[in-house]
Chain A
């Protein structure tokens, strides 16, 4: 994926001016008390958040947390059962016809015609817009210049994802919904996609994305919302999420030669919580690492358990996520 210049050079916009613009522009998305039920099942239980204009906002959560339900309400696919949603100041379900020309969408399923060539799909979507981006330049941007004549069914999973990204961008949208945009991409394409998303933010676009990759959220997002079981359980900047937790909490990661019950670890006097991460691998949280280490090693000596690894660490976003949801991302 390389850079292609198709247009003239604009005046440089410095970061401060961009910040002022952003503050003046208000919220691109505003969600209040959003509820969505499917029959008996409550998928979204009263969620509230706002995405500022020009911001990259990541929605994290284990599968079934309600991320896709939320994003699909905002894209106008379904009505909510309660609360309100405003997208670019419009009701996404009722004002779809006015909203759709202004948003770009990447769904979990690529939604490409298998029998059309990559270039043909992009040309088709370009014709839906009055002032589309040049499809050739876009194919170049996502690294598919040489695959323009390839039928979509013959593209690899990662190539299809990149084409779906190009389709989302062809209408030069001011607001992008990217549902797991880099799933299926190789590491190189993921990084190139991050560059594109960052560049879009530079241009003033707003991005709402969901992802399974912690590093993606951490590197890309201005703010991260964590959803679990239909509720919003955390909302902060990446730094705020990790440091806010770790100023008071330190994690001790230990790998043992045998299993131990987590209750015994959690029962240590200075331990706040304990969990089993994998076979023989445990994490204990504490506000006092020095004392806990003494307690822990004493316990292990008394039990006659071998220690193969012991690490004292600051929380990573992944740790924060696990602590808040009690679940692996791909649970």
Chain B
């Protein structure tokens, strides 16, 4: 490669143009590009008022409202022990599916994804940045929820609480893939409607506020098969120390695999 000629021209008098670099690839290290993209993703998430509402404010309101006001027929000894893991599942769904899905759909609509496709940031780098942004957001969400739970409702984690970390990662994979599946295949408006619609459905049948076995029988089967309850229940098992059901984790991973494969196959960048 020694014959590659590097030409760097610099600004001349009266010439309104940038210098050009010829003969050498001018790409930044992927880590630098991905970090810059992650920062931009986070900035944009925090600037979208509805994004902050759905990812931070609503989960906090759910937690406070239900923990303080509604007596829950609980399997756990205290409402907070039942509620907090479920609300963490809500937080994962809101940032992974709703926020990521809707933002990505509009980026596709505005042609931003296509424009990025001609930049040195590789597509896997864009995905990595989006995942990093979602994970950062989740750390903030969970920190706020745990803080409120611990300070105002006396919540304490069980010894097995560390298990929640891989479960949150798995849940993020599942719901982020679902969000990207919608964003890459549907029109932006359709993604907006379906992500918000699914969010409400998942809240209702995810066993978040009410244990699934308290549901009417015809709702119990779909509730047990769909991923929200699997995520909420396994988080509950980890955080209360009652043990994580392997079936729940397997179900979650199965859905994650299906969503990821479907998203990879159907995702349209433009």
Contacts and interface: CB of A to CB of B under 8 A. Distances in A.
Interface of A: 1-10, 12, 75-77, 97-98, 100-103, 105, 107, 109-116, 120, 123-125, 127-133, 137-138, 141, 164, 167, 169-174, 192, 195-196, 199-200, 202-205
14 contacts: A3-B16, A10-B12, A76-B118, A77-B114, A101-B26, A103-B118, A113-B112, A114-B110, A128-B120, A138-B18, A171-B26, A172-B18, A200-B17, A200-B18
Given A113-B112, A132-B26, 18 more contacts: A3-B14, A9-B10, A77-B114, A103-B118, A105-B118, A107-B115, A107-B118, A115-B44, A120-B43, A124-B40, A130-B26, A141-B16, A169-B17, A172-B19, A174-B20, A199-B16, A203-B19, A204-B20
Contacts of B14: 3
B36 interface: yes
B58 interface: no
A112 B27 CA distance: 20
Contact of A97 (B13, B23, B33, B122): B122
Contacts, number: 158
A174 B18 contact: no
Contact of A202 (B15, B29, B122): B15
B115 A202 contact: no
B121 A195 contact: no
A293 B129 CA distance: 70
A4 B112 CA distance: 28
B111 A109 contact: yes
A9 B22 contact: no
Contacts of A164: 115
Interface of B: 7, 9-23, 25-29, 32-33, 35-37, 40, 43-44, 47-48, 107, 110-112, 114-122, 270
A204 B22 CA distance: 9
A107 B122 contact: no
A131 B48 contact: no
A128 B33 CA distance: 5
Most chain B CB within a 10 A radius of its CB, from A111, A131, A174, A192: A111
A125 B26 CA distance: 12
Contacts of A124: 36-37, 40
Nearest to B119: A128
Contacts of B21: 102, 131, 172-174
Contacts of A109: 110-111, 114-115
Contacts of A192: 16
B110 A10 contact: no
A174 B12 contact: no
Contact of A128 (B17, B48, B121): B121
A164 B114 CA distance: 13
Contacts of A205: 17, 20
A129 B26 contact: yes
Contact of A130 (B13, B27, B44, B118): B27
Given A77-B118, A102-B25, A171-B26, A128 B36 contact: yes
Nearest to A168: B118
Given A107-B118, A131-B26, A137 B18 contact: yes
Q: Which 5 A-B pairs have the closest CB atoms?
A: A111-B115, A109-B111, A127-B36, A199-B17, A101-B27
Contacts of A75: 118
Contact of A111 (B17, B27, B116): B116
Contact of B28 (A6, A8, A127, A172): A127
A100 B118 CA distance: 6
